[in-house]
A and B are shown apart, each in its own frame.
Chain A
Amino acid sequence: MKSALLIAVVLLAAASIPLYAGSYPVSFLVQTFIFIGLAYSWNLIGGYAGYTHFGQVTFFGLGAYVGAISIGNGVPWLWATLLAALFAAVCAALLGGIMLRLKGPFFAIGMFGIARVCESLALGLDNITQGGTGLYLTAVDLERVYYAAGAVVLILLIATWRLDSSRLGLQLLSIREDETAAAALGVRTTRLKIGTFIASAFMPGALGSLYACYLGYIDPTTAFAPMTELTVIAMVLLGGMGTVLGPLVGALALSVVNEVLWARLPEIYLALVGVIILIAVLFMPRGIVNFAQRRAWSWVPTPRGHLRRLAERRGKVNPPPKRFARPAQGGNAGGPAEPDPRRP
Chain B
Amino acid sequence: MMQEDVLVVEDVRKSFGGRVALDGASLRIARGSITGVIGPNGSGKSTLFNIVAGTLPPDAGRVLFDGKDLAHTSPAEICRRGLGRTFQISRLFSELTVLENLVVVAHGLSDADAVQRALELLDFLEISALRDKWGAELSYGQRKLVEIARALMLAPRVMLLDEPFAGINPRLQNRIVEHLQALRTQGLTLFFIDHEMRIVLEICDDLYVLAEGQVIAHGDAAAIRADERVKEAYF
Contact = CB atoms under 8 A, between A and B. Distances in A.
B96 A183 contact: no
A318 B76 contact: no
Interface string A305-344: 0111011001100101101001000111111101111110
Given A185-B79, A186-B80, A187-B104, A320 B123 contact: yes
A177 B54 CA distance: 20
A306 B112 CA distance: 10
A189 to B, nearest CB: 7
B132 interface: yes
Contact of B125 (A167, A183, A334): A334
A314 B115 contact: yes
A326 B91 contact: no
A187 B84 CA distance: 12
Contacts, number: 151
A242 B96 CA distance: 12
A186 B115 contact: no
Contacts of B112: 310, 314
B119 A185 contact: no
Contact of A181 (B84, B93, B114, B167): B93
A187 B55 contact: no
Given A178-B91, A310-B112, A318-B119, A186 B105 contact: yes
B79 A330 contact: no
A58 B119 CA distance: 44
Nearest to B55: A184
Contacts of B145: 333-334
A178 B93 contact: yes
* Chain A interface residue number, banded: 35 or more
B125 A339 contact: no
A343 B139 CA distance: 12
B111 A307 contact: yes
A171 interface: yes
B139 A340 contact: yes
Nearest to B130: A334
A318 B114 CA distance: 15
Contacts of B169: 339, 341, 343
A189 B129 contact: no
A144 interface: no
B128 A181 contact: no
B175 interface: yes
Contacts of B123: 318, 320-321
B116 interface: yes
A33 B139 CA distance: 44
Contacts of B185: none
A108 to B, nearest CB: 20
A306 B103 CA distance: 12
Contact of A341 (B103, B127, B168): B168
A171 B80 CA distance: 15
Interface in B49-68: 53-55
Given A311-B115, A314-B115, 8 more contacts: A171-B104, A174-B93, A174-B96, A185-B150, A326-B126, A332-B126, A335-B129, A338-B172
Please give me the 10 A-B residue pairs with the lowest Cβ-Cβ distance, nearest first: A320-B128, A334-B127, A186-B79, A177-B93, A181-B91, A170-B104, A185-B105, A341-B141, A310-B115, A183-B75
22 contacts: A167-B103, A167-B106, A174-B96, A177-B96, A180-B91, A181-B91, A181-B93, A183-B76, A184-B55, A185-B104, A306-B111, A307-B111, A318-B123, A320-B131, A330-B175, A331-B172, A331-B175, A333-B142, A334-B127, A338-B172, A341-B167, A341-B169
